[in-house]
């Protein structure tokens, strides 16, 4: 019993570290500031997609077989492969890796050296990423084990100080549908998509510890998920509250990274601002290295070795380095069309698997319904709305609350019952 408890704690802390991306810290304060007195409703929405779905994703993937292709394979093998590629690209060079570079520059460099060139920084940052990713150095893991506690201590310092000496009063910001706002902003963490990739690592760790039955793996992954959820909830909740207290102190149009810097300076002074900036910057670097290695491993394996690991590493950092120079705000804006398309699909797959559904037609129908509405949402987010289709979608129940894909997914799943079961 003692060994099981220890193993659950170890895996839970590891899972927390995997989800605890330094780049995600820019979202809770921003949402809190926009929500004001409604920050708790916004927090619940953010936790649903930023913590709840990722942890359910780990459990669902474990139940399905341990990988994203097992999970999505219930729709079909071709769909599973396409979704896997899209997810790897999203948590890799398309979005997550460039965002680590841009966040590092804006939080760790600009406050200290505002004159520094973003292009030059990108060359240095992604040059370091490439060096460590290609060599698969264990140094990065060792650094990460020191950085995460240091970053957590700094964040705890900010939250405690922000609770004891609030930046200002909580005011009504007039945010319409705070829960839906937090829910959609939680997409930006990309953790639900990453969870179906992380699941393979978690299951591998449990197998290594001697837990070979699927029942044990699902049970222990669930318990580990609770530990990770508590840690993430405290971090995100504290930062969102601090952001909410700053609603009257900072300008409305302030960018996400600028808000984090301003909060750090207001609560901790120049020393605290610099400490947080450096901790986040170094933590982002370790994330960038790990994600680059993951992308290279995946596509090298997908090509069966025809494209080398090192070549993919180079391509990944070059693309990411160029994209990172556009800044965090632009990267976040570009991410929206992809995330509103893919996230509902991933949520549907997770919930159906958790619910024990085995009928392939239900998976196909539900995913089709969610994907169809998600694509329309993506066109709107990209600034090219389809007016007639959007007018129709607006009449769907839950659309006004920001969840137009729910009913089409349910309807598609029901229609899917008419298809062959296998």
CA distance 255 to 265: 15
Per-residue model confidence (pLDDT) at position 274: 83
Question: Mean pLDDT of all residues in the chain?
Answer: 87
Per-residue model confidence (pLDDT) at position 421: 65
For 303, what's the count of Cα atoms within 13 Å in the CB-facing half-sphere? Answer: 12
CA distance 231 to 19: 10
pLDDT exceeding 90 applies to what percent of the chain?
36
Sequence-distant (6+) residues with CB within 8 A of 201 are 18
Per-residue model confidence (pLDDT) at position 200: 76
Per-residue model confidence (pLDDT) at position 22: 67
Q: Is the pLDDT of residue 19 over 60?
A: yes
CA angle 150, 155, 160 (to 5 degrees): 125
Task: Supply 216's token pair.
Answer: 């044990």
Q: Is the pLDDT of residue 1 over 70?
A: no
CA distance 133 to 317: 10
β partners of residue 172: 36
Top CATH class of 2-325 equals: mainly alpha
Sequence-distant (6+) residues with CB within 8 A of 412 are 364, 365, 366, 367, 368, 369, 370
Q: Are 332 and 374 in contact (CB under 8 A)?
A: no
pLDDT tier at 140, thresholds 50, 70, 90: low
Residue pLDDT, tens place only, 296-324: 988 998 888 888 889 999 999 999 999 99
User: 112 φ, ψ to 5°?
Assistant: -95, -40
Per-residue model confidence (pLDDT) at position 107: 87
- Hey, which of 153-157, 375-379, 388-392 has the most confident mean pLDDT? 375-379
Domain residue limits, the chain: 2-325, 329-422
Q: Are 345 and 409 in contact (CB under 8 A)?
A: no
Q: Are 186 and 49 in contact (CB under 8 A)?
A: yes
pLDDT exceeding 70 applies to what percent of the chain?
96
Per-residue model confidence (pLDDT) at position 422: 60
Q: Are 241 and 32 in contact (CB under 8 A)?
A: yes
The arithmetic mean of pLDDT across residues 17-33, rounded, is 84
Q: Is the pLDDT of residue 145 over 80?
A: no
CA distance 195 to 202: 10
Q: Which of 261, 395, 413, 406 is nearest to 328 (CA)?
A: 261
Task: Supply 383's token pair.
Answer: 């600034």
CA distance 74 to 66: 13
Residue pLDDT, tens place only, 350-381: 999 998 888 899 999 999 999 999 899 888 88
CA distance 382 to 64: 34
Per-residue model confidence (pLDDT) at position 372: 92
Residue pLDDT, tens place only, 191-221: 888 888 877 777 777 877 788 787 888 888 8
Long-range contacts from 124-127, C-beta under 8 angstroms, 24+ separation: 125/101, 125/285, 125/288, 125/321, 125/324, 126/101, 126/288, 126/317, 126/318, 126/320, 126/321, 126/324, 127/317
What is each CA distance from 387 to 207, 340, 376, in whole angstroms?
51, 18, 10
Q: Is the pLDDT of residue 168 over 60?
A: yes
The arithmetic mean of pLDDT across residues 100-119, rounded, is 89
CA angle 283, 224, 186 (to 5 degrees): 55
Per-residue model confidence (pLDDT) at position 141: 61
Per-residue model confidence (pLDDT) at position 143: 60
Residue pLDDT, tens place only, 32-85: 999 999 999 999 999 999 889 988 988 888 888 777 888 888 898 899 999 999
pLDDT tier at 294, thresholds 50, 70, 90: confident
Residue pLDDT, tens place only, 399-411: 777 788 999 999 9
């Amino acid at each position: 019993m003692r060994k099981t408890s220890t193993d659950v704690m170890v895996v839970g802390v590891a899972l927390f570290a995997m989800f605890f991306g330094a780049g995600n810290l820019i979202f809770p304060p921003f949402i809190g500031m926009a929500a004001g007195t409604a920050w708790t409703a916004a927090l619940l929405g953010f936790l649903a997609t930023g913590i709840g779905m990722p942890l359910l994703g780990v459990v669902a993937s474990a139940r399905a077989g341990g990988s994203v292709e097992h999970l999505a394979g219930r729709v079909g093998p071709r769909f599973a492969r396409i979704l896997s590629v899209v997810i790897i690209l999203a948590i890799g060079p398309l979005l997550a890796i460039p965002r680590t570079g841009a966040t590092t520059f804006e939080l760790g460099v600009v406050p200290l050296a505002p004159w520094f060139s973003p292009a030059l920084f990108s060359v240095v940052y992604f040059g370091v990423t490439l060096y460590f990713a290609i060599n698969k150095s264990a140094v990065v893991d060792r650094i990460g084990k020191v950085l995460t506690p240091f970053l957590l201590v700094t964040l705890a310092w900010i939250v405690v100080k922000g609770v004891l000496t609030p930046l200002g009063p909580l005011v009504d910001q007039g945010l319409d549908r705070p829960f839906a706002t937090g829910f959609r902003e939680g997409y930006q963490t990309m953790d639900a998509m990453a969870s179906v990739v992380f699941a393979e690592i978690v299951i591998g760790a449990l197998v290594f510890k001697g837990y070979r039955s699927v029942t044990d793996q699902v049970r222990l992954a669930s318990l580990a998920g609770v530990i990770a959820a508590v840690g993430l909830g405290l971090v995100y909740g504290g930062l969102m509250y601090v952001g909410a207290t700053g609603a009257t102190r900072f300008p409305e149009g302030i960018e996400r990274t600028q808000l984090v810097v301003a909060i750090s300076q207001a609560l901790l002074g120049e020393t605290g601002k610099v400490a947080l900036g450096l901790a986040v910057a170094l933590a982002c670097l370790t994330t960038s290295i790990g994600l680059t290695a993951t992308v290279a491993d995946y596509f090298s394996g997908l090509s069966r070795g025809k494209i080398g690991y090192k070549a993919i590493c180079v391509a990944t950092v070059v693309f990411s380095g160029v994209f990172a120079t556009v800044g965090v705000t632009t990267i976040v804006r570009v991410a929206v069309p992809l995330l509103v398309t893919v996230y509902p699909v991933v949520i549907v797959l997770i919930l159906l698997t958790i619910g024990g559904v085995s009928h392939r037609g239900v998976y196909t129908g539900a995913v089709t319904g969610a994907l169809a509405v998600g694509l329309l949402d993506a066109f709107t987010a990209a600034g090219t709305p389809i007016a007639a289709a959007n007018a129709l979608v607006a009449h769907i129940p839950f659309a006004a609350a920001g969840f137009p894909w729910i009913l089409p997914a349910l309807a598609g799943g029901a229609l899917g019952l008419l298809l062959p079961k296998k």
